[in-house]
Amino acid sequence: MSDSPASDADSILACEECLSPAEAFSVVGNETRLSILEALWRMDRPAAFSDLRREVEMRDSAQFNYHLSKLTGQFVTKTDDGYDFRSAGRAVIQAVLSGTINQDPEIEPFEVAGDCVNCGAPLEAHYRNEQVRIRCTECGRPHGGYSFPPGGLEERTPEELMNAFNQRARHLSCLSADGVCPECSGRMSTHLYDVDDDEVFDMDVRVEHECQRCQHSIVSSVGLVLLDDAEIVSFYRDHGIDLNTVPYWTLEWCVTDNYTTVERRGGPDANDEWRITLTIPVEDEQLVLDLDGDLNVLDTERREARPAGESLGEERAGGP
């Protein structure tokens, strides 16, 4: 789902003038400069020099100007109307607000919507290491998990947290599948892999998205990648269901490979050789999608639902 990487000659950014990571962190690793960024965040922007200094409560104008000048160019931009954020300065403040650099909370398990696809027991979620994880209360089978910044826990009930997590997980997976890294916006590649022995998820094939810039990776099922597909969303809407509000971990075609059939396998570096069928049942109807190795939808068909217990195919694929 991603384009081939550009050569150095074709690249739109040449970083000869960029700060090194060590230099960038040394600039914002100063209490006064961080206070300037925090003050700018609270203000109407662009902010005048005098208003910004007053917000920081710094009397020494020369000292204030010194620290502001260190930020200007990489973290703050100066215009005729005053000072405003550049994306790097905004990212620093957003990291502070998200809690990722100064918080490390844990939340004890709490019950969430849905039943285990293996044993039918209730599901629970827990928060640890900046991730929400969902699992069965009885057999422990995982039903999904993604990163979730600590700041997102504040002033949210468990129900509100899981609603937010559901939307974030969809966003991360679909953005990755579209070839954009959710961490650094670098180029994300998508590959399908055979899984010989997956005792955790009981999957035959999984989808892996990996950033070619920062090496951030996300593993998902075939179904999860297609949660925002127009045909699937429309199919659910025709049955009176807003798919966007359904917790993805309650959708068996998203967290198992029970509804995914591998028609033709390829290697991890040969996506064009794969052919996959995903069957999505809703009430008395099924939506059948034919997919290529990049998980592009080649064709769709609506069919009458199969009788309970009828096999969906001998080969299966996917992963939560």
- Amino acid 143: pLDDT: 92
Rounded mean pLDDT of 309-314? 48
pLDDT in tens, 159-187: 999 999 999 999 888 889 899 998 888 99
Say if residue 96's pLDDT is above 80: no
Structure tokens at 134: 């969902």
Other beta carbons within 10 angstroms of residue 286's beta carbon come to 18
d(C-alpha 229, C-alpha 46), whole Å: 39
Q: How far from 122 is each of 10, 114, 199, 290, CA to CA, in Å?
A: 53, 6, 21, 32
Structure tokens at 92: 């620093």
- Amino acid 99: pLDDT: 56
Rounded mean pLDDT of 256-278? 82
- Amino acid 59: pLDDT: 87
- Amino acid 5: pLDDT: 52
- Amino acid 14: pLDDT: 41
Which helix (H) or strand (E) segment holds residue 232: the answer is helix 230-238
Is the model more confident about 76 or about 29? 76
Say if residue 46's pLDDT is above 90: yes
Say if residue 230's pLDDT is above 90: yes
- Amino acid 197: pLDDT: 57
21-98: in CATH 1.10.10.10: yes
Contact (Cβ atoms closer than 8 angstroms) between residue 290 and residue 280: no
- Amino acid 93: pLDDT: 78
pLDDT in tens, 98-133: 655 555 578 889 999 999 999 999 999 999 888 999
First vs last C-alpha separation in the chain: 19
CA atoms within 13 A on the CB side of 152: 19
Q: Which of 134-148, 193-207, 304-318 has the lowest mean pLDDT?
A: 304-318
Asked if the bond preceding 21 is cis, omega within 30° of 0, the reply is: no
pLDDT in tens, 125-143: 999 888 999 999 999 999 9
Model-level pTM greater than 0.85? no
- Amino acid 250: pLDDT: 96
| Neighbouring-strand partners of residue 47 | 83
- Amino acid 288: pLDDT: 97
Q: Identify the band that residue 196 occupies on the pLDDT scale cut at 50, 70 and 90.
A: low
